[in-house]
Structure 1
């Protein structure tokens, strides 16, 4: 009995020792994971320094905003309704908790464009209505003034009607005077036409005289040229002098030539006697001699005639050439006088032509005046009829002005009512005031025609305008756990805001490092859960066949799970509470679980397999022998492997530090606490049922 109490006390102490160590760590463990890749390196690296500067001075999400993207299949974003849908989605995203700012096609700078606010538009409308009421008041005042002036103009219309009667009388008198004027102008026209005919006859006679005179001058000029030619020819007659000595020299030369020809003939006969028989040569020689003789005779006759010609030249100059020169001089003076007379007649003809042209123009003008007299009379008749109509119109106008005065007064009263109504509308618009924290945005038509606005949208619309994006700037670090949790919130808000818009059939996708880490978290969680299930199932099946028990695998695997979560809690306590990280790096749970389960199950197999070898002794003694035999092996292996993982601790990479911390904690916790304290308690607790449902051991005792 006393022995049982001692065993129970030992079991209780061991169990409490395990609980004291593991329970606080299990309770404090939250399972927070960090996806901040910047934490992997120290603060001394340039990329980390630059990011921290931006985070401290601006907004950490300025560099890596969360991006919401929609894509349209067969439509384009090009209408006011489409941009209004963008504004609606932007507003919904901006209203989410933790969102600092949203930049989109309608908010390129992240803030609402003032002209798009309903408050601004209503203020502009109210201002325009105020200006309209001012204008209406001016019109109303003008209408009342016009009505008053029209009423005051009635006496003036009466005076105008009396003046029209006087105009009628004057027009009738003017019509009678125009008839007498036409008769006088007709007589003047006839006199001008007679004078024009007389000037024409004078002009015709002078032209005939001038033509005959021009012909006479022309004939005289020709006669003068003939006389001058005769005189010139006679003056040259006989003036050429030929020296008689020259003629004698010519005769001598010709004689010398004849002698030379004779000498040459003789020499030719001597050299060639056959030439005497050549008739052509004989005829040529004789012909040459005869030609020279003929020339000599002609020169001698010329010498005789020249002596007679010298006497005749003197008589010709005295008796013929001198009188002929006097005749030519007189004829030249006569021709000059005739030309002057012809020139005077030409100027006279030009003057008569001008006189005739003036008389014709006067006659034509007078005719036009006479012809226009009937038109003038007709115009005066029409004027008289128009004046009668004017008189009637003045009479009718007086009655119409009375009606117009009354109409203007009514219009003024109506404008007064409109003014009052617009003033009330202006007051209603002034009462419209949306909350500054929840502004209402309306995209006007004019925005699509504004080049600056459309240029700002290019950053958020694809080139073909089928894809639109929204940059969501959150208050948190984009790598933080809070930012990752906001991804689903932003996704839900985007889907909700796109209902009943052009993006209703489009799926909202979120980009950015926060969304990437969110997807990475989902994928890693799924892989972790799948890996845990597969690994635990495989270990359980393997242990059943290896240990020939379904009970021992349960508490062995349970002890490993306890060790794993306790180690994770301890590592999380160090890195989140002491070093103030957001959590353990996202890959730590996966790799730590695999390594701790693999290493821990090995140590468990070492101990329990040796325990199964002691089949013939009691469980207590078998367990003590097993722990004596394998305790040193397990502890040695844990120390060696701990030293291996301890080599990671000086590393500057956070993930390696955390893996090393979890594995080292798990190894020492399992080797020194769980395996020597918890497993024996579980073995003693189940006793003979440890090998269920397989064959029982012999001599089994508690």
Structure 2
């Protein structure tokens, strides 16, 4: 006995040291949950691929968490004063951006695009988006607390929210729930054990042993997680506490009942301890191993959350070690005092409830099974409804992050706070016209998808198209230019027609005839002048001779000569006057020709001006604009149908060809016309020059002849008169002849100039006549060319009008909604800002932000992702981005991945767990049928419990759905823990196998005896799970309700189904693998004292 005491003491010392070590070495659980307790998704799932792409984005997004600051004024619009306070807060955050590791931030004041996204329509709410660096030293909790303090704004309700912030609040709520659960469970267990054993001491021993196992288990698991990345989640700690408190208390009840029964039979404390541990401990060990197997196989799960339940297996191992080593110490040391103040002990009390149910079941087993099936199987097969993947339900409504999130959902779209991000990663850069066009096309197709509110991308940063970057807007400029070009062409055409009309009115042929007449007259003048010169020379010679003779000759000779002179002088005067008249007429004709030439020159200048305008207009014809349209619609990959492409190509080709041909013919005609006009201008300039010279000579000649005529009119008549009286006045005759001789000398001296001038005038008039004749031909060609030009310009105007009409029609079509940005604009400052936001620094990765109309965590939102993925793949197929990697990120994508993974892994995990428990049950029951029946009962209880909870959550919890992880953890808890009760029953049945009697009697007796233990254990376990309800965590509450209801169903089904099945199946050889009596030395059951 002393050896036993020493052995137990060493056990106590050992566990004391272990507990101290566990407390000293346990890591910070909150930090551990934050760092390693989050749900992870395998790398082949969308959300994980998206996360990996985000890490390649650059410093601004790698290793960051998205935080949203919400400024709200209830349902009323923010006032100017409040907006001023918000701006000050934003500026304060910007000033501390580096200090609080804020990598990037987007405020409504940044741009109009940002304002449209971050200010609600009712102006009551404004958002500030932050990307904050997250690390082990800069946890989400620290980020949340810092930003909350920094963003506090006077006079405005301010909230800090975000996916990671909400997850952290959920973790905090779970941790707080664990503390509540531990306290409530301890109090509940204490009270129940006090009632069961009627002793305040017994519960203390049970709580102490369970507490040692809980502390040790949590420390071991935490260190495994911290050092070896052991599976871990938010629920690991709370379920370790619940399971160990639940089954630990159940096992203690079983052990303490065995110990008390042996004390009641008169055994001493050492013997009672030994037998209680040997017999009860074996049942505990079998039950514990079943739970251990059930929990351990969860390590084969793929889903991190499911796998995290393997930590409970570690707790079960520690629990079994503590119960089977510490309890013997308390039993051996305390003996009967362990149940103080009870002094008179009795054995296990019979369960009348189980006795009655088992008895009636065995009387009519088949009917019992049929009725039971009719009642419970439909209940089990009833749908449990749609599962809720929204983590918000896990958090209380008083949590600020949840309040802020709800405000965003109420004043914006439900998906605004947690949008879906689509990442596209290409092996080439995306900052080019072709890739941007494809991205914009994808953006539009996503925007047109059902359930999508907005889609923002590099081409539509505000979720709306930038009009100036689309062909419709660009074509407006083209069509406007075409209208102007058409008006210009029409104006030029009108001017050419006017010039042609004016040229047609000019009588150039009359001017030619006048010039010919003038040349002929000038020629006659020139010839007459030459004759006159000869005559004047002769007269001058005669006058000189006369003068000489008058001075020296006799009167008879003088009379004869005077008579001749008197006759010649009038003739000379008449010739001089005729010359003067002809020279004057020549001058008048020259003036007329000069006036005609001036008019022709003016018109020629007008024609030259019109030609310049025509050439300028031809240079601005819409062929260039048509090329731009072709570039925008064809070369850049406009998404038109084949028919539309053919029509557009044909129109552009014909238009281009027509304009090219027209330009060529017009250019040729206009060049010829220009040459003709130039020739006319040159001729006109030559004639004008000659006319100027001729007019000068003519003027000189005219002046000379006029002077001659004037003097002749004076001198010659006087000379004639003088000659008539010469015979009487010889002296006077001599004087007159002398004057006449002097005048004739003067006239004769002027005659060479006159003859030369007349010759020049004649030659000039002849040249002018010839050039005017050539000009007439050129003007004829010019009018013909102008006629061709006006015809061509009419065709151009018609073509421009046709092209403009087609482009206007195309502008109204869907094809005009095509993105096009010139190369030079891509790197412009305004568009570069969009690329910096929606493209990675290397420009090979881009993102599209999709805001859904539905709640991001809802089944409706998740159902849209496969459709959106189909849209993306279809849009990129056959393009330069067909090989791009695509990944969906965000809460909806992660939730959808969790849904897919949880659904597939749930079935796999259930099969593995049931297989492991089946093997354990085969070992315990040594039967094939009994494990099948037991697992069938467990599955019916599990499914039925979920159905009932689904009915209850709406009226009790205010929600119409089960949380997505409730089914799994309910299954794990109910199956692994509920199997204990079947093992209790079947182990008790096997204890009676050595006794004589029918199998049905032994089964009835086992049910009657163990019923009290099972019911007590069920109450303890139900109460322990009920301690989860005050935690406020929806999943824990639903699991608690489901486990409690499942235990109630088990307590009802076990004493009905198992006895009925045993009654039916026992006679058949396959029902039991071995039905031999249990060794009395090992499993002897002491006779009970009633």
Q: What TM-score do the two structures reach when normalised by structure 1?
A: 0.62
Q: Which residue of 2 aligns with 1:633?
A: 1013
The offset of 1:170, in angstroms, is 6.2
**Equivalent residue, structure 1, for 2:381:** 26
Which residue is equivalent to 1:359? none
CA–CA separation in structure 1 for the residues paired with 2:766 and 2:496: 32
2:452 to 99, 104, 111: 99
Equivalent-residue separation in structure 2 for 1:410 and 1:69 (angstroms): 62
CA deviations on 1:256-286 (whole Å, 9 max, x unpaired) are xxxxxxxxxxxxxxxxxxxxxxxxxxxxxxx
Q: Of residues 690, 704, 715 in structure 2, which corresponds to 1:168?
A: 690
Q: Aligned equivalents of 1:496 and 1:469: distance in 2?
A: 17
Summarize the Cα distance change of 1:409–1:94 in structure 2 as closer, same or farther, 3 Å threshold. Answer: same
SS in 2 for 1:62: coil
Tell me the residue number matched to 2:319.
none
Displacement of 1:586: 2.9
Instruction: Identify the structure with bigger relative contact order (alpha carbons < 8 Å, sequence gap 6+).
Output: 1
| Equivalent runs, 1:279-294 vs 2, <5 Å | none
1:35 aligns with 389
Aligned positions of 1:687-698 closer than 5 A: 687-689=1066-1068, 691-692=1070-1071, 694-695=1073-1074
Which whole-Å CA distance do the structure 1 matches of 2:692 and 2:1020 have between them? 142
Partner SS for 1:100: strand
Answer whether contact 2:826 2:832 (CA < 8 A) is retained. yes
Q: State the distance in 2 between where 1:160 and 1:570 align.
A: 120
The answer to whether the 8 Å contact 2:1026/2:1040 transfers is: yes
Q: In the TM superposition, what is the alpha-carbon distance from 1:20 to its structure 2 partner?
A: 2.8
RMSD: 3.7
Q: 5 Å matches for 1:89-128?
A: 89-128=442-481
Aligned 1:376-525 pairs, distance under 5 A: 394-432=772-810, 440-445=817-822, 447-448=825-826, 450-525=828-903
Q: Which residue of 2 aligns with 1:16?
A: 371
| Other structure's SS at 1:634 match | helix
Q: 1:48 pairs with 376, 389, 402, which one?
A: 402
Aligned partner of residue 838 in structure 2, secondary structure: coil
Q: Tell me by how many angstroms 1:425 deviates.
A: 3.5
CA contact (8 A) 2:471 2:820 kept: no
Give the match's secondary structure for 1:28.
Answer: coil
**Residue 938 of structure 2: aligned partner:** 560
Q: Which residue of 2 aligns with 1:642?
A: 1022
Match of 2:463, SS state, is: coil
Q: Distance between the aligned counterparts of 1:166 and 1:6, measured in 2?
A: 140
SS in 2 for 1:96: coil
User: Any idea what the Cα deviations from partners look like across 1:569-613, whole Å, max 9, x if unmatched?
Assistant: 222333357645473333322222111111111111122233344
Whether contact under 8 Å (1:26, 1:565) holds in the other structure is: yes
Flag the 1:675–1:160 CA change in 2: closer, same or farther, 3 A.
Answer: farther
Q: 3-state SS of the aligned residue for 1:688?
A: coil
Shift of 1:460: 0.7
Aligned match of 2:949 in 562, 567, 571?
A: 571
Specify whether residues 611 and 81 from structure 1 end up closer, same or farther in structure 2 by C-alpha distance, changes over 3 A only: same
Aligned to 2:967: 589
Shift of 1:139: 2.4
Distance change in 2, residues 1:696/1:6 (3 Å) = closer
Q: Match for residue 423 of structure 2? A: 69
SS in 1 for 2:885: coil
Q: CA deviation at 1:47?
A: 1.0
- How far the C-alpha of 1:142 sits from its partner, in A, is 1.9
Conservation of the 8 A alpha-carbon contact between 1:41 and 1:653: yes
Flag the 1:169–1:647 CA change in 2: closer, same or farther, 3 A. closer
5+ residue gaps, structure 2:
1-359, 513-592, 598-685, 701-761, 1078-1090
Partner of 2:1001: 621
Find out whether 1:670 has 2:1050 as its counterpart: yes
Match of 1:534 among 898, 902, 912: 912
Correspondence 1:682 to 2:1036: no
Contact 1:101 1:472 in 2 (8 A): yes
1:577 and 1:422 map into 2 onto residues whose CA distance is: 74
- Report the alpha carbon displacement of residue 127 of structure 1 after superposing the two structures with TM: 3.6
549-558 or 490-499, which deviates more: 490-499
**1:508 partner SS:** strand
- Measured in 2, the distance between the counterparts of 1:589 and 1:386 equals 121
Counterpart in 1 of 2:412? 58
Q: Which residue of 2 aligns with 1:377?
A: none
Aligned equivalents of 1:385, 1:44: Cα separation in 2: 118
1:515 deviation in Å? 1.5
Change (3 A) 1:29 1:154: same
Q: Provide the secondary structure at the position in 1 that maps to 2:382.
A: helix
SS at match of 1:472: strand
Would the alpha carbon gap of residues 170 and 91 (structure 1) be closer, same or farther in structure 2, given more than 3 Å must change? closer
- In 2, distance between residues paired with 1:415 and 1:97? 53
5+ residue gaps, structure 1, are: 179-383
For 2:1031, what is the secondary structure of its paired residue?
Answer: coil
Query: Hey, what's the Cα distance between the residues in 1 that align with 2:924 and 2:376?
Result: 30
Whether the aligned pair in 2 keeps the contact of 1:167 and 1:387 (CA below 8 Å) is no
CA displacement 1:146-203 (0-9 Å, x = unmatched): 211222234397545976768537637979999xxxxxxxxxxxxxxxxxxxxxxxxx
Change (3 A) 1:549 1:173: closer
CA contact (8 A) 1:567 1:663 kept: yes
Counterparts of residues 117-516 of structure 1 (less than 5 Å): 117-155=470-508, 158=512, 159-160=593-594, 168=690, 171=693, 394-432=772-810, 440-445=817-822, 447-448=825-826, 450-516=828-894
Tell me which of 960, 980, 983 is aligned to 1:605.
983
* Aligned CA distance change for structure 1 residues 585 and 391 (closer, same or farther; 3 Å): farther
CA 1:639/1:402 → structure 2, altered by over 3 Å: closer, same or farther? Answer: same
Find the aligned partners of 2:781 and 2:859 in 1 and give their Cα distance: 84
CA contact (8 A) 1:157 1:398 kept: no
- Gap change, CA 1:157 and 1:580, over 3 Å in 2: farther
CA offsets, 1:525-544, max 9 Å, x none?
34433332221111111222
CA distance in structure 2 between the partners assigned to 1:76 and 1:390 by the alignment = 75
Does the 8 A contact of 1:66 with 1:514 survive in 2? yes
State the match for 1:83 in structure 2. 436
CA distance in 2, matches of 1:696, 1:656: 43
Structure 1 window deviating more from structure 2 (155-164 vs 421-430): it is: 155-164
Kindly state the Cα deviation for residue 479 of structure 1 after the two structures are TM-superposed.
Answer: 2.2
Deviation at 1:90, TM superposition (A): 1.0
2:368–2:1056 contact (8 Å) kept in structure 1: no
